Structure 1
Amino acid sequence: MEGDRDYREGADYRVNVKSKKHVREQLEKYTDLFKKFLDGQCHISEEDKTKLLKEMVVNFEFTVQENLVVGGLSWDEASEDYCEDYESTITDIMDEKIVETACKRNSYPKQIRNLDVRSLRAERKLLGLYEQAVKPQDLKPDPAQEFVIRNVSAAAPAVFKQASTVMKSSDDEEKRLKRREKNRVAAQRSRKRQTQRADELHEAYECLEQENSLLRKEVQILIEEQQRLTDALKAHEPLCPILNCGMTSTSRSIGTVSPEFMSR
């Protein structure tokens, strides 16, 4: 027990680091953490928070520095620019891995070969122990089945030809039905166009009939007006001898409306 106690007392439990610069960078991160912690304390004034922050940072840094060793030296003894050579460390690790890989390449194939040989021997033993539980028998074909198979084989080409003919006829019938449907649709469209044309002609005929009736009415009005004017002139003819000469020439030039025009 005393020996263990002496060993514990003489042992160095400080953490060995490789650079003071990296440690300082990590310590600066804890300053913000302490500041956030003090900001959450509402009952402490700003001056007290500033003092407490400084004390906490100083105590924390001092404690960390006391428990660190930089390259085997204490914090104060080590220089600020001290930093171990990482390249040499990485090179040593790579060399160890290369040697380990080379050893595995030499040893693993031999182990795999022994396992393959053992597996092949085990398979051969299993094949030697295998026995046929059922003896194979020669199957003789049935003459009736052979006759049926021969007939089916002989009738197959004719059936195939008949099936192809039926398929072609069905295709032709389908084409014929499509053509008939197409002609029916075309005839329906033609009848529809003819009906529309007949309706248009009927509407035009009705319009012309209406115009003709209007023209007849206008002609009748003009004839009546002419008759009225003629009667008026005849009534004034005894009073004005000049009208006598004018009436004869006017009657000759105007004439009468033909009954054919009135029938139109």
Structure 2
Amino acid sequence: MEPLEREDTNEEFRVKVTSKKQVIQQINEYKNILQTAFNGQTGVTEETKTRLLHELLANFEAAVQENVLVNGQPWEEAPDVEEEEPLDLESLLDDSIVETTRRRRAMYGNTVKPQEFVKDHEQEIIMRDLSAAAPVVVTRAIQVIKKQAEGLCEIMNTKTSAATLEIHRVVLGVNDQSDAASRSRQPIKRAVEESAAAGCYVALSKRHSAEKHTE
């Protein structure tokens, strides 16, 4: 029985990735794990441990790079910076805000020291006495004003007696007729005519004209 001949195939077994940056991050994380595990070995001298650790990490990094394809290209041919790599704008904005806040805190300082306030005990005593005496002073002032207002109301409501009016006439020479004339404020000519009519007096010119009419 003849063995079957294996056909040659071009099947690719390397891992396909889209970002060189992500691969480098993964390599660094696994390097830290390997370094931690290697540092736990106690039966090796420090010099030997350092040399072996360096070789181990270098071989690990080279093995990863040989077994990946970055966007269909080998590791050496792939560009180091992906031009079309999506940017995380929110992370960039957060970093900018944090950096700006940190700089502002360092920029502004307390250039002016606040002055300490010293209390004046004598001034406090005076203010306390004034505050205690203020209600009493206000109450007394209100009582005085109230009494003055009551006295003024009594004077205005008091009726003038006959004796007071008589004294007023004697002192000022005022009679009832003059008071009536001053109140009426009639013209002089009209006042004369009214007084003549009251005494049945007829003017001379009017009397002559009346006698001519009778003749």
- TM-score by shorter chain over 0.5: no
What band does the TM-score fall into relative to the shorter chain?
0.3 to 0.5
Higher relative contact order (CA 8 A, sep 6+): 2
Would you tell me which structure has more helix in proportion to its own residues? 1
